[in-house]
Structure 1
């Protein structure tokens, strides 16, 4: 069994490759997959997740723990391990750090939402939350659109400035600004929320101020969490999800279900990719895309890494 570190994954597999692997999976899917809803075990504010999936020649399991208060101790919110097995023999093939897989997978899902749902000339990005997922969505947004300016907001302003300094070194062609959440919302074409907040992090604006924007929500994965405001959920012209499980796992989508009657007709990522049809008149619309992830996406990513490095 091969064992690989987080650093080896991030240095050998890019966000663009991750997006391509998930897109290719749906575009060229040769057989059905098994990907049950992940098991949530809640322990106070912490959540343990068990995520198995089967596809093609492989079986994978991700064991992850989410501890929102870790940010106060300067630690990653998510920890875990990912195992890839031979589906026929069940022999373990590959063991790796789940944080790197989760960051790549989640960023890629958000990036594919941006690729298909954001207006083509989007140039400004707003990131709310500067943890691992904030960084991965910076990478994926830059892969999906020609982003020229990024607004950054974090509840702890010092962390926003640290994120800005790191981003300026990595992406010198892009301008970065630490902004208020109101300025970020008004000035950004694409807004990504990456927090575990239980109350909406988007500000109240005039309804017309949300037109032409794509809101990508990726932080809320429990029913008690909600990042996207009731205002945006109510006025959104179209709502999309990465997987149908988002409709009952995320507080954002549960609340959206209370506010609108069309939610069950929302397209998921598979239909978005296979139909290859983006919404029309995006300059005049408010679009919401909610991503919670699913085990099949982790399997696709870890399989791609394994096959690139060892086959």
Structure 2
């Protein structure tokens, strides 16, 4: 059985290939080529365990993800995960993969597909709220879909924003990165807004009509008591 760590997954394919694969995955799911049962969701206090199977004729896979929000206070990733790939004809295990990196790439590809088809072609201003592993990859993938000139970012930590800016600029040195003091500033100035937080309260303004004519991608709310957007 083969093993693929975070570095191997990150180097497996360029961003456009990830986006094309995700787009095909949507088509295959809609046409019944693959079967994706509802994920198993288990809560223990503030922590969550997610079990996600997917069945195809050639392969089937199972992703196991743990979400521990308090890890952020310990300066550890909030999300850990593993993916097991099996032969669809025999069930033989073929590979185990780093689920955190794979989830980041896959989820960023989902957001990128949405931006590809829904965002204005002339959009050049991107805003990202929440700068963890998900927010970082969302930004990387989004900038491949449009000619982004300015990226506005917001997080609860100035240290996180500074670290994000330096890391992002290594990939896109020509894009101007602007830390924002509040979400209203970010949303008003951005044509594409991405939220990638674990918040239980809205992280974007409820007033001002800032969302009109804009593309908004929200990926953080995975439980009924979580929300990134107001009513």
- Structure 1 pair 66/28, CA: closer, same or farther in 2 (3 Å)? closer
**Is 1:99 aligned to residue 103 of structure 2?**
no
* Cα shift readout 1:217-273 (whole Å, capped 9, x = no counterpart): 00010001000122xxxxxxxxxxxxxxxxxxxxxxxxxxxxxxxxxxxxxxxxxxx
How many Å apart are 1:31 and its aligned residue? 5.3
Task: Find the counterpart in structure 2 of residue 19 from structure 1.
Answer: 19
CA positional deviation for 1:157 = 1.9
- Paired residue for 1:173? 174
Instruction: Measure, in 2, the Cα distance between the counterparts of 1:63 and 1:168.
Output: 32
What is the SS of the residue equivalent to 1:206? coil
2:49 touches 2:67 (CA, 8 Å); kept in 1?
yes
Alignment partner of 1:40: what SS?
strand
CA distance in 1, matches of 2:27, 2:204: 34
For 2:124 and 2:115, the matched residues in 1 are separated by 12
Does the 8 A contact of 2:28 with 2:34 survive in 1?
no
Q: Does 1:187 align with 2:189?
A: yes
**SS of residue matched to 1:12:** coil
Structure 1, gaps ≥5 residues long: 231-311
Contact 1:202-1:228 within 8 A present in 2 as well: yes
The count of corresponding residues between Structure 1 and Structure 2 is 229
Deviation digits for residues 76-120 of structure 1 (CA, Å, limit 9, x no counterpart): 111111010001100001111101110011000011111111111
1:10 aligned partner: 10
CA contact (8 A) 2:57 2:89 kept: no
Instruction: State how 1:64-103 maps to structure 2 within 5 Å.
Output: 64-103=65-104
Kept in 2, the 8 Å contact 1:31–1:55? The answer is no
Structure with larger RCO (C-alpha < 8 A, sep 6+): 1
Residue of structure 2 equivalent to 1:143: 144
What's the TM-score once normalised by structure 1's chain length?
A: 0.71
Q: Give runs of aligned pairs for residues 50-65 of structure 1, distance below 5 A.
A: 50-65=51-66
* Matched residue SS, 2:144: helix
Q: Is the partner of 1:144 in helix, strand or coil?
A: coil
TM-score normalized with structure 2 length: 0.95
Deviation at 1:182, TM superposition (A): 1.5
Go from structure 1 to structure 2 and tell me whether the alpha carbon gap of 1:69 and 1:28 turns closer, same or farther (over 3 Å shift).
Answer: closer
Contact 1:51 1:63 in 2 (8 A): yes
Q: Deviations over 1:105-154 (max 9, x none)?
A: 10000111111111111110000000001111111101111111000000
Cα shift at 1:56 = 2.8
Higher strand fraction (1 or 2): 2
Q: Could you list the structure 1 runs, at least 4 aligned residues long, displaced by more than 3 angstroms after superposition.
A: 25-31
Q: Does structure 1 residue 201 correspond to structure 2 residue 203?
A: yes
Residues 122, 189 of structure 1: 8 Å contact kept? yes
Deviation at 1:210, TM superposition (A): 2.3
Tell me if structure 1 keeps the 8 A contact 2:123–2:191. Answer: yes
* Structure 1 residues 245-284: aligned runs within 5 Å: none
Aligned to 1:159: 160
